[in-house]
Structures are given as C-alpha cells and as structure tokens.
Amino acid sequence: MEFKDSTVVVTGGTRGIGRAISLAFAKGGAHVFAAYLRDDDAAQDLLAAAEGLAGTIAVIKADVSTSAGATELINTAAARCGHIDVLVNNAGIIRDCYLAMMSDDDWDAVIRANINPLFHCCKWGLRKMMARRSGSIINISSISALIGTMGQTNYAASKGAVVSFTKSLAREAGPMGIRVNAVVAGMIDTDMTASLKADVVDRIVKGSSLGRIGRPDEVASVVLFLASQQASYINGQAIVVDGGII
C-alpha cells in the first residue's frame, strides 16, 4: 500500500503493459488515470478488472500526441486529486516495414505517436509536480532501441529517443526533486507483440538467456519499483527488462 492515495497517470493505460501498470498501481492503493485513444471495450474491461482493488482507476479518452489531449488528461487528474505523483508514458504504436519500402506515413505516424506524447505529457505533468517539488516520471522504451530490429527503423528510432529524452529531462527535473527514468521492455506478451511475424518473435525470444517471452506484470513491477521510495536515489536510468537479450 505504498501508493495509497497517490495520483498516477498512465498513457496507453488500458491495454498490454499499460493495463498491467494501471492495475498494479491500483492494487497498491493509488488513484489511477488511464488514458487511451480508441478501444472503448478495453477501457471498460479495465474498469471491471479494477473493481474491489484498494485504489481506483478512471479511464480518460484523449489523444496525448497533441497538446490539447495531454493537457486535458493532466488537468483532469490534478483537478480530481489535487496533485500528480507519478506519470507513466506508455502510449505507442508500431508500423513495421523494411526501410526501403516504408511509406512516409508509416514513418511519420510512429514518430508522432511515440515521441510527441513524451513532450506534451511530461511538459504538463512536470508543471504539476514542480509545485510540490516531488514526483516520478517513468517512460517506457523498447529493446529495439538498444539492439535494433529488422523492419523497425521507425520504431527503434522513436524508442531510442525515449531513452535520450529521459536522461536529459532527469538532469532538468532532478534539482526539483522529480525523478525521471525509463524501462526498456523486451519481447512482452501483448496485442502489439501478437501482431508481429512469428519468426521475428521466435528469433528474439531464442536470443534471450531465459528463452521465453515476458509478461506485462513483469514490466509493471519494475515501473512500481522506480516510482517507489525504494528507488529514491535512481534518476536518469534506463532499466532493461528483456529476459537477458543484452
């Protein structure tokens, strides 16, 4: 119950890794605001799963790749609870294709969806945290950022930006008592992974020392650790959760 009455904002918070993160914080007593873009059924499923937990989950439909959507999300959470303690930037998409055949739209869409929310949500979330001189921001990256994956130049570039963004913001926010870290997720069992070609998944899984795909809750547990007081001296780091690929 370390997160009892804490206010937690999770983008991409209703499916996959984001869903696991939202539920984990709610189990710890937090008031969670889970943002999503389109899937109303997943949002309702998350609300049903949260019934009876120590904390609460509210779902907010917002396009956090825009300033207006991110502002709405952050302001709604702050207005209901008075403050924001944790921000988890998890929203993102993939549009895999070899670079020589990649369309401009596939490049632009991935860069926009995976990087713009970082700017908008961190900008407005940071402003709420600055008033209390405390808070924790955790950004979700991918192992593709560190090892590269064929057919994912757009995705790898965007997730590499997450790591460098995290390290730079940590230097800005640290003096104000706000920690910023990243979690670099490996091959995790989600809908996004299910959309990948089987041979791609098999190759990456076999390349890990544990030889298996990861679970969303295994990523969520690291996010909760980084947000907790147990990680009070960890800032500007990218923690890899990949089953031993690197």
Q: Are 184 and 145 in contact (CB under 8 A)?
A: yes
Q: How would you label 60-99 residue by residue, b for 16+ Cβ within 10 Å and e otherwise?
A: bebbbbeeebbbbbbebbbeebeebbbbbbbbbbbbbeee
175-178 LR contacts (CB < 8 Å, sep 24+):
176/129, 176/130, 176/133, 177/133, 177/134, 177/135, 178/126, 178/129, 178/130, 178/133, 178/134, 178/135, 178/136, 178/137
Phi then psi dihedrals of residue 226, to 5 deg: -65, -30
The residues, any chain, with a CB within 8 Å of residue 227's CB and separated by 6 or more, are 3, 8, 25, 85, 86, 88, 136, 138
Is 36 among the catalytic positions? no
Instruction: List, by residue number, the catalytic residues.
Output: 155
